[in-house]
Amino acid sequence: MKFPDPHEVKAQAIPGTEGWERMYPYQYQFVTDDPVRARYEKETFWFNDGLHYPEPLYPFDTIWDEAWYLALSQYNNRIFMVPPVRGVDHRVINGYVYISPVPVKDPEEIGKRVPHFMERAGFYFKNWDALEARWKVKMEATIRELEALRIPTLAEMEDLRVVTDAIGESQGYHLLKNYDDLINLGLKCWQYHFEFLNLGYAAYVFFLDFMQKQFPSMPTQRVTQMISGIDVIMYRPDEELKKLARLAVESKIDGLFAGDADWASLEAALRKEPRARAWLDALETSRQPWFNVSTGTGWFHHDRSWNDQMSVPLTGIRTYIGKIKQGASIERPTQKVRAERDRITAEYRGLLPDDATRKQFDELLGTAKTVFPYVENHLFYVEHWFHSLFWNKVREVGAILKEHGVIADVEDVWLLRRDEIKSALWDVVTAWATGVTPRGTQTWPREIAWRKGVMQKFKEWSAPPAIGTAPEVIQEPFTIVLWGVTNKSLADWAAVQGAKEGARTSELKGFAGSPGVVEGRARVCKTVAEVSQLQEGEILVAPTTSPSWAPAFAKIKACVTDVGGVMSHAAIVCREYGLPAVVGTGHATKIIRTGMQLRVDGSTGVIAIVDEAAAAPEAPPLRAAAGGGRRAT
Amino acid sequence: MSLGAPLVCWLEECRKDSVPLVGGKCSSLGELINAGVRVPPGFALTTEGYRRFIAEAGIGREIAAMLERLDTDDLEALGKASASIRARIEEQPFSAELEDLVAERYRKLAVRCCMPAVPVAVRSSATAEDLPDASFAGQQDTFLWIRGVDEVLHHMRRCISSLYADRALAYRARRGVGDDRLAISVGVQKMAKAYTAGVMFTLHPANGDRSVIVIDASFGFGESVVSGEVTPDHFVVNKVTLDIIDRTISQKEICYTVDSRTQTSRATEVPLERQRIQSLLDDEITQLAWMGKRIEQHYGRPMDIEWAVDKDLAAGGNIFILQARPETVWSARQPAATSLPGTAMDYILTNMLAGKRLS
């Protein structure tokens, strides 16, 4: 399969962005001035990590990419000694991240790694639950450390205590040091992030692999359904909203939630209402930690948490109050999901040819069930709870840079690399100590204005899904399960390459995320804030969803996303609610418009645009929908 | 003649163990009906009825005598003997009792189908239970689109006489099977006036996957699908959950329908605007797959099934199973010797080392 040459892709620079390379770490560049590296890059298969980065990376946000570049690779290659794979290499073009698993090529070396892998990975699988309990302790301690971390402001005159307590250190020094601490906590958190994840995914991938070898036509979602209905904390924030909705109705204060008053005025009204006291107390309990859930994936600085954006949980609470008042159930149909899971598991098991195969099935399913909670739960701890707090700490750093005139707006801080922020802080702190003007006040605002323009141009660029040379064999578990790199996806990617820009279609394909077929009206929500516009029974079309989108699922008929596999949030939640889902369509939010009539087939992964007439009229009309699967009678 | 064995019986009265009485085909249909599967209604002249017919006609001895003189290696003589035996059988009238019994069942069948002179298929149902090669007689004679009781009786005799077709005689001679144990049953079954018909496998014929049911469907009678004259619509249904996981709609240029004048099926062109339309509704696919699953459960093995959607009947009750037999290709195959190490860790290692091959 032929994919574009990475160096040629990069050489077609977007006018006005020349020099963009300085926005990212130098080792992320595809290079032509180093023949050995250039050849390696040309002969390697790189695919765009659109799963994590549907949009170009801001220079600061690159921190998490660097963090997992290190963490995933080290656990594969230096800690667990995964025999046939080293780490995953990274590059960036126009702000989009390209990654590639690095194989161990020498069979003898692979053989030498095997006993180490068996010992080390075996230890984790064997002691999974106990080690996971320890992980939780480590992770919570890291979060507490982050919460306690102070970003000091630089005073005109240091506090007298510095003298009387003979501290011997200035706030300037502490600012520099604590910024380092902040970054280091972030990196540490990502060290933990991967402690179980590689092995967790391996267990999951090979259960999937086993099932699909037994049943070549078995949809992936049916395999994942076998490990559904297990309680994971991802549902917890949503459960908190339900609890608060119930309490509001029980306390007879639900009337106050009527209308669309914003959180500030509603809170003021609640504070004046004596019957609302218990509710406000309950809210405080829910907020820590559950409202640290991000409104996005948590990977980007613009993914604010519920705590930052109370309008989002408020919309959810209002939805649930409405449902309760109508007498509708707001419970997840967990019992039903579990019963169906058990039925499916038993039937598939019954179709296996013999006892040896059934024993292997039991083993692999058992392991997949053991790892499943971690694979889901780490997201709340790392991407949501830790990240939400982390972004706000960086905003505090941004506020200091702004105060000292290095950046014009706190949110400009994201246009600097993490090491550039360190340099700028040095500039600010030495200038503060010395009593002069930081040099950066002249250089950074200009650079940031230019970078903003570059980011805008990057957003308009359409990144090729894959570049370089496709390999014959892929062994790295993440590559297969998370990014879905298979023969089929490669062929699809090659096809996308061949398709004309802006070509219109009446049918979209994605991964079959959750089974079932429904027809309904589309509602495109680009961000979770738009969820409040959702009408009962619509089909949600979103770039991706995260736990904070949960209340939306109580209203919708089906869900379609641009990004994600069968283990993505939307797919998992839809399976729990028994709603059809098609995920990872690539560009549903660009093609589908609110009001279009869709037919979503979550069993085949196909979305048909049945009627576009009622759609919002901003885009040119599509070609007529092809004859659907109905017999004319 | 055992007392009380019926001369005719309804298909639904037949069971797996009815083979000596009604032959393999009818007992299998009865078995399906009793498993809750919808099969076109019908009845059978039993082997007991067959014996009564031969006894009443009084030609048993005559036939035996003709066969005794026969040199089965002389093909010409064989052909002649076969023709005269068959002619003798076919000219014998049924006794009034047998004729009444058959006429009564046929009339009741017509009432059940709400069609006077309901068109039926008349086919022989062999009792070859003691012979491994079920096609021993070569005489799975089937007469389609038969209407009216006289025609039914006539074709019943033709089915009976097929026991003495030349190939059957030669076969029995070669195998040394005596004629004294011979018996045949004749099934009479409503013709399904197929709007759509086809085949269904309760495993994937391409890869042996037992978790799916694969359905091939086209307009008209199933002949076009079975013979490969059209590329049928192709559906893959998840056997466990009954959802359609894959579908390919093809261009179906011809279909077989019944010619109302000659009462035979013939190929006609499908109107262009219908050629690319899905020949089976989603609900019908699900219903059919459900039946396939039931049939497989009943027989405890993967099955190869012929089915039809009947034009004459209302939706919801119009899908019929015409035939179900064990799947043979994959079922005969030994499962590939995959090493199953047992523990999850070993499986992960083995398969990780193998990697995922991309082409």
Distance (Å) from the alpha carbon of B329 to chain A's nearest alpha carbon = 16
User: Which residue in chain B is spatially nearest to A110 when comparing CA positions?
Assistant: B353
Domain assignment present for residue A507? The answer is yes
Nearest by CB to residue A604, choosing from B246, B281, B356, is B246
Residue B305's pLDDT is: 92
Write out pLDDT tens, residues A579-600: 899 987 877 888 888 999 999 9
Q: Are B188 and B124 in contact (CB under 8 A)?
A: no
Quote ipTM for the complex: 0.77
- Output the average pLDDT for chain A: 88
Q: Does residue B83 sit in helix, strand or coil?
A: helix
**CA A381 to CA A389: how far, in whole Å?**
11
- Is the domain of A143 the same as that of A215? no
pLDDT score at A496 = 53
Phi and psi torsions of B52, nearest 5°: -60, -45
| Residues A577, B219 contacting (CB under 8 angstroms) | no
Farthest CA pair distance, chain B: 78
Q: Where are the alpha helices (DSSP H) in B92-196?
A: 96-112, 149-161, 166-175
Cα B359 vs. chain centroid, distance in angstroms?
Answer: 43
H or E element: which one contains A581? strand A581-583
Q: Which chain B residues are within 8 Å of A477, Cβ to Cβ?
A: 352
Q: Minimal CA–CA distance to A538: which of A592, A587, A576?
A: A592
Q: What is the mean pLDDT of each run of 10 residues along chain B (359 residues)?
A: 78 90 88 89 94 90 85 83 92 94 96 89 74 48 88 94 83 72 88 90 89 94 81 93 90 86 83 92 94 91 92 81 84 67 85 68
Q: CA nearest B246 in A: which residue?
A: A604
Tell which residue, A373, A306, A469, A387, has the closest CA to residue A133.
A373
- If asked whether residues A317 and A187 sit together in one domain, one would say yes
- Domain match, A85 and A129 both: no
**pLDDT at position A290, please?**
95
**Confidence (pLDDT) at B193:** 85
A317 lies in the same domain as A425? no
In terms of DSSP bridges, do strands A96-103 and A85-93 run parallel, antiparallel, or are they unpaired? Answer: antiparallel
Write down the pLDDT at residue A233.
Answer: 86
**A498 pLDDT more than 60:** no
The pLDDT value recorded for residue A622 is 36
Q: Determine the distance in angstroms separating the CA of B312 from the nearest CA of chain A, rounded to an integer.
A: 15
Per the DSSP assignment, residues forming a β-bridge with A469 are A2
Residues of B in contact with A219 (CB under 8 A): 238, 245
**Closest CA relative to residue B182, chosen from B160, B156, B152:** B160
Is A479 domain-assigned? yes
Is A19 a member of any domain?
yes
Residue A357 to residue B245, Cβ atoms within 8 A: no
Is A589 inside any structural domain?
yes
Higher pLDDT: A346 or A526? It is A346
| Domain encompassing residue A85 | 6-122+467-490
Q: Are residues A262 and A389 in the same domain?
A: no
- Contact (CB, 8 A) for B214 and B236: yes
The SS3 call for residue A589 is helix
- Which pLDDT band, with edges at 50, 70 and 90, does A629 fall under? very low
Q: Which of A163-167, A526-530, A564-568 has the lowest mean pLDDT?
A: A564-568
Q: Is residue A628 part of a domain?
A: no
> Quick one: pLDDT at residue B348?
87
Share of chain A above pLDDT 90, in %: 64
Given this model, what pLDDT does residue B2 score? 46
pLDDT digits (tens, 9 = 90+) for A93-136: 999 999 998 888 899 999 999 999 999 999 999 999 999 999 99
Find the closest chain A residue to B347 by CA distance. Answer: A206
Please tell me whether residues A480 and A562 are part of one structural domain: no
A549: three-class secondary structure by DSSP: helix
In a domain, residue A292? The reply is yes
Question: Domains in chain A: how many in total?
Answer: 4
Q: Which domains does chain B have, with CATH numbers?
A: 8-190 (3.30.1490.20), 194-329 (3.30.470.20)
Q: How far is the C-alpha of B281 from the C-alpha of B186, rounded, in Å?
A: 34
Q: Are residues A170 and A203 in the same domain?
A: no
pLDDT tens readout for residues A361-380: 999 999 999 998 998 899 99
- In this structure, is residue A581 part of a structural domain? yes
CA dihedral sign, ordered B327, B333, B334, B336: negative
DSSP summary character for residue A382: I
Task: Render pLDDT for A148-192 as a digit per residue (tens, 0 to 9).
Answer: 999 999 999 999 999 999 999 999 999 999 999 999 999 999 999
Give the chain B residue whose CA is nearest to the CA of A358. Answer: B342
Do A431 and A552 have their domain in common? no
Kind and range of the H or E element at A136?
Answer: helix A128-148
Q: Which of B239, B345, B357 sits opposite A118 (nearest CB)?
A: B345
Check CB contact under 8 Å for B335 and A353: yes
Specify if A209 maps to a domain. yes
Question: Which of A112, A114, A201, A217 is best to mutate for the B interface (most B CBs within 10 A)?
Answer: A217
> To the nearest whole angstrom, how far is the Cα of B235 from the nearest Cα of chain A?
11
Asked whether the beta carbons of residue A125 and residue B345 sit closer than 8 angstroms, the reply is yes
